[in-house]
Amino acid sequence: MHNFLIAIARWGVVLSALFATSVSASVCRVTTAGLSSNDGSTWSVPMDLQTALGAATCTEIWVAAGVYFAGSSQFTSFVIAPGVAVYGGFAGGETQRAQRNPALNVTKLSGDIGTSGVATDNTKTIVKMNAVAGNTITASTVLDGFTIADSYEGGNGGGLYCGGAGASNECSPTLANLVFNNNYAVYGGAIYDDARGGGVSSPHLTNVTFTGNLAINNGGAIYNDCNNGGTSSPVLSDVTFSGNTVDGGPGGAMFDEVGNSSPTLSNVTFSVNGGFHSFPPFSGGTFDGGAISHRSTGTLSLNNVTFSGNGYSSAPQGAIYLWTNTSALVMSNVIMWGDVAGPEIDNVGGAPVTITSSVIQGGCPSGSTCLGVITTDPLLGPLQDNGGPTHTQLPKAGSSAINAGYNPTCAATDQRGVPRPQGVNCDVGAVEVVLDRLFADNFDGRPTP
């Protein structure tokens, strides 16, 4: 019996070792010096990124800091297959994913391939996620910890194309800790969510920054396309849109197409997004929605969101444009202040609008149902690093937004991760003000983060 137990124990060790090997083999490590002949099993034998993305054994990919190009041709993209999780922000020696630091170890997927030195020759779409029937892209497909920059796409989605078009197809990945910068497309400068023809494209975005992206026709940063029976209802948490523009169309930051698009936004900042006209507009062109143009029949839901400085250089519109009475807008704890002249919410279609505990310049929009709307200045500070992974606008002392929120609908934390409420009530907008700035020892019972 003794020998039998020893044998069983030895087999257990062998089986445990085999299992550990199979688990670790699914993690592939990538550096800028990686080789296609390596297996990426350790940082000493790293793969190149394209090889890792194409390897069926690489279900989780760790990418070290540096700049990565999809290829020398502008038609080549980084293609992420369904079920694959790709993480950037590694220094190159970590043994656990939690040890990485994307803010310190900047990992960039660049479209600036330098073939001619002009932007028009940059990579068209930097990242693609394409779903196919029976092999959909859901939350297990992850892109996390990257800067995606400098694309030049003459069609849909410069930074990321999320393809869920067609019946039974879906592209709803997890997108986290990302920066989309200086991307260009005709539709959706940074991201194009394609749910046309009965598909689904509803990504979940957390800790994401969109800055300086440009579209020609619709959606300076994001285009949610749900034409012909599709559904595109992204969920955004702790996100900042700044300086995104449209040259000749609607939706400076985000555009929701006709169909079922019901985006949900919590702890989001829209700062100085909008449009301009550098050439004669296309036939029938419309220019509206400095931050969001909502054409969809779905409901746009906003909670603890801040809008400031959004609009158009001509044909001024404010923060949100609602096209039709079949769409809807529900807002709670939202700041809309200092957007370009014109109504903060331009509800030309007569859509039902419900607003609770919000600070709105000009007061309750005509035709809206409002409870607790405040019309005094929230005294927003500049867009800057106030802590947390994304830039925010912090209300100054004396702001009308402080302690003016509705606790039952307030987010549990603010855009920086600070717990809400810090006072009797939560604050309106994306940022919760911490008043204990003089007494870091928690003298007044309200700790400084």
For 301-316, write each residue's pLDDT tens digit.
999 999 999 987 655 5
Q: Which residue has the tokens 């550990």?
A: 20
- Residue 4 phi, psi dihedral angles, 5° rounding: -65, -45
Q: For residues 60 and 324, what is the distance between their CA atoms, to the nearest angstrom? A: 43
Residue 317 has pLDDT above 70, yes or no: no
Per-residue pLDDT tens over the stretch 63-81: 999 999 999 999 999 999 9
Give the pLDDT of residue 114: 79
Residue 14 has pLDDT above 80, yes or no: no
Q: Are 144 and 173 in contact (CB under 8 A)?
A: no
Q: For residues 258 and 355, what is the distance between their CA atoms, to the nearest angstrom? A: 23
Residue 357 has pLDDT above 90, yes or no: yes
Give the pLDDT of residue 348: 87
Q: Which residue has the tokens 């796409």?
A: 153
Of the pLDDT bands very low, low, confident and very high (cuts 50, 70, 90), residue 165 is: very high
**DSSP letter (8 states) at residue 47:** B
Sheet of 191-194, strands arranged across: 78-79, 127-130, 160-163, 191-194, 222-225, 254-256, 292-294, 320-322, 345-347
Helix, strand, coil percentages in the chain from 3-state DSSP, rounded to 5:
10, 35, 55
Q: Are 292 and 330 in contact (CB under 8 A)?
A: no
Q: What percent of the chain has pLDDT over 90?
A: 80
Q: Which tops the pLDDT comparison, 116 or 176?
A: 176
- Residue 279 phi, psi dihedral angles, 5° rounding: -150, 165
Q: Which residue has the tokens 């023809």?
A: 197
Give the pLDDT of residue 449: 39
SS3 15: helix
Q: Are 360 and 331 in contact (CB under 8 A)?
A: no
Give the pLDDT of residue 318: 83
Q: For residues 310 and 272, what is the distance between their CA atoms, to the nearest angstrom? A: 4
Of the pLDDT bands very low, low, confident and very high (cuts 50, 70, 90), residue 125 is: very high
- State mean pLDDT over 401-422: 97
- Rounded to whole angstroms, the maximal C-alpha distance in the chain is 89
Of 115, 113, 176, 177, residue with least CA distance to 149:
113
Contacts of 30 (CB under 8 A, 6+ apart): 40, 46, 47, 48, 49, 52, 61, 62, 63, 64
Give the pLDDT of residue 225: 98
Q: Are 222 and 210 in contact (CB under 8 A)?
A: yes
Token pair of 438 as six digits: 């003089």
Per-residue pLDDT tens over the stretch 249-282: 889 999 999 999 999 999 999 999 997 655 444 4
- Residue 380 phi, psi dihedral angles, 5° rounding: -75, 135
Contacts of 12 (CB under 8 A, 6+ apart): none
- State mean pLDDT over 207-232: 96
Residue 115 has pLDDT above 90, yes or no: no
Q: Is the overall model pTM greater than 0.75, yes or no?
A: yes
Give the pLDDT of residue 19: 37
Q: Are 149 and 110 in contact (CB under 8 A)?
A: yes
Give the pLDDT of residue 17: 37
SS3 78: strand
- State mean pLDDT over 164-171: 95
Token pair of 445 as six digits: 């019972």
Give the pLDDT of residue 273: 95
Please state the separation of Cα 211 from the chain's center in Å.
11
Of 330, 328, 306, 332, residue with least CA distance to 319:
306
Average pLDDT over the chain reads: 89
- State mean pLDDT over 344-350: 90
